[in-house]
Amino acid sequence: MIILESLIIESKEGLLNQILEVLPHDRLEDYSFPVYRIELDADLVLYLYQFTESKRQYEPIYQNVIPHLHNCTILTNTAVLRKGKLDDDVLQEMAKLPPDIPVILAAIPEWENEGILNKELLATGFTLGSSHRLYFCDFSNKDQIKKLLSQIWLEPVSSTSQKGVALPVK
C-alpha cells in the first residue's frame, strides 16, 4: 500500500471542505487538528493534514509529519496571484518546509480576467520554485476536483522526482 501525506494550507477558507464533499473520506479523531484519510483504491491512501488551528498544541506532531510529506498544497484564489505574493501566514508555514517538498498552488480561476492576470503575473514576477506547480480548479465542479486530485497526488512533480506516484484514479 502506498500512503501519500500532504500538508493543506487554506489561503481561502472553505476550499478543503468543497474537495472533501466530492471525495469519500474519514476524519481521524485521534488528533487535535483536522486529519483526513482518503482511500483512492486498495493500494493508495492519502492523508491530508490541515494545520490551521492552535499551532502550539500540534507543533510536535507537525515536526514529525514534515519529513514524510509528499507535498504542501495551498488552496487559494487568483487574488493571491494578482498580489504577486502569498499571505504572510502562508509564507511562514512554507518557510518551515524542507526545500525539496513540492508546493502546489491550487487556485480558483477567474477566466474572465485571464488576460489581466497574465499581465499582472508578469509584472509582479510571481514565481514558484522548480518543483512547485500552479493549477486552476473550480472547486464547485466535481470533475475538476477529481482532475486536480490526479494532478496533485498522482502525477510526478518532475521527471526526476521520487515523490510522484503515477497510478490511475478509479
Ranges 4-13, 120-129, 133-142: which has the least confidence = 120-129
How far is CA 26 from each of CA 69, 73, 122, 142, rounded to the nearest angstrom? 19, 19, 41, 19
User: Is residue 80 in a domain?
Assistant: yes
Q: Please tell me the distance from the alpha carbon of residue 61 to that of residue 102, in angstroms, as a whole number.
A: 20
User: Is residue 11 in a domain?
Assistant: yes
User: Is residue 159 in a domain?
Assistant: no
pTM of the model: 0.77
User: Is residue 161 in a domain?
Assistant: no
Instruction: Check residues 169 and 10 and name the one with the higher pLDDT.
Output: 10
Work out how many domains the chain is built from and give that number: 1
Kindly report, residue by residue over 73-82, the tens digit of the pLDDT: 888 887 776 6
User: Is residue 38 in a domain?
Assistant: yes
Structural domain for 17, as ranges? 2-154
Q: Please tell me the distance from the alpha carbon of residue 24 to that of residue 102, in angstroms, as a whole number.
A: 25
User: Is residue 123 in a domain?
Assistant: yes
User: Is residue 164 in a domain?
Assistant: no
Instruction: Check residues 128 and 75 and name the one with the higher pLDDT.
Output: 75
* pLDDT band per the 50, 70, 90 thresholds, residue 121: low
CATH code of the domain in which 24 resides: 3.40.50.300
Taking all residues of the chain, what is their mean pLDDT, rounded to a whole number?
75
User: Is residue 126 in a domain?
Assistant: yes
Average pLDDT rounded to a whole number, residues 39-49 = 86
